[in-house]
Amino acid sequence: MRIVIVGQAWFGAEALRLCLRREHQVVKVLAPASTGEEYDRLYAVALQAGVLVAHCGRRVGTGDIPAGTDLILAAHAHAFIDAGARSAARLGALGYHPSLLPRHRGRDAVRWTIHMGDPIAGGTVYWMDEGADTGPIAGQDWCHVLPGESPAELWRRALAPMGLRLIDEALTALDQGVIPARPQDEACATWEPAFTTGHLAGKDRPR
């Protein structure tokens, strides 16, 4: 498949490496630009791999997606991938959300999982649409939250590796001509706003 990756940081870089190992053609990466000594891992890995990379703003539109793209993969992406961009890819846009969707929709799902004392966490690969984490589910799994675990620890121990595995499984299905998708149960949906600086200390931020 011809894939565009939109994302950042460790998770985005590992998603790129996963696609390359699977011998997909990553035609473009959209990531935060590296400046000075401050660099984004996905941006740097794309440069090292010889993949076309461009700065990602707050919105991804039709013009950001090369012709002939099969799939947009959102890997720790904070940009909105609009309808034009999604329709420019044959299959649309697939993203990973670190919660058991439809629970904890919103950008700080891991922090809210810990803050609300959930004993169970999880991750969901889903098809992106116009809503906030509302699209059909392509794959999902769960894990226990360990006593005293911080958001960063939960992300690194369980949710990030889970996300890469779920993406890998979804790509396998797509390679076989299967498009996994089931609707979210709106009766169970929750949405939480972004945490402010005062909610949690910087040491709790997922990488």
Task: Decide: 50 and 29 in contact? Cβ < 8 Å.
Answer: no
Q: Which pair of structure tokens corresponds to residue 53?
A: 């990379």
Q: How confident is the model at residue 202 (pLDDT cuts 50, 70, 90)?
A: very low
CATH architecture of 1-91: 3-Layer(aba) Sandwich (3.40)
Q: What ranges do the domains of the chain cover?
A: 1-91, 95-194
| Mean of per-residue pLDDT scores for the chain | 93
Q: Are the folds of 1-91 and 95-194 the same?
A: yes
Residue 33 vs residue 9, higher pLDDT: 9
Task: Decide: 128 and 89 in contact? Cβ < 8 Å.
Answer: no
Q: pLDDT tens-digit profile of 140-167? A: 999 999 999 999 999 999 999 999 999 9
Closest to 92 in 3D by CA, of 54, 60, 50, 140: 60
Secondary structure of 156-183 in HEC code, one letter for each residue: HHHHHHHHHHHHHHHHHHHHCCCCCCEC
Q: How confident is the model at residue 38 (pLDDT cuts 50, 70, 90)?
A: confident
Task: Decide: 125 and 95 in contact? Cβ < 8 Å.
Answer: yes
**CATH class, 95-194 region:** alpha beta
Q: pLDDT tens-digit profile of 104-142? A: 999 999 999 999 999 999 999 999 999 999 999 999 999
Q: Which pair of structure tokens corresponds to residue 39?
A: 């660099």
**pLDDT exceeds cutoff 90 at 201:** no
Q: What is the pTM of this model?
A: 0.92
Closest to 112 in 3D by CA, of 159, 163, 151, 154: 151
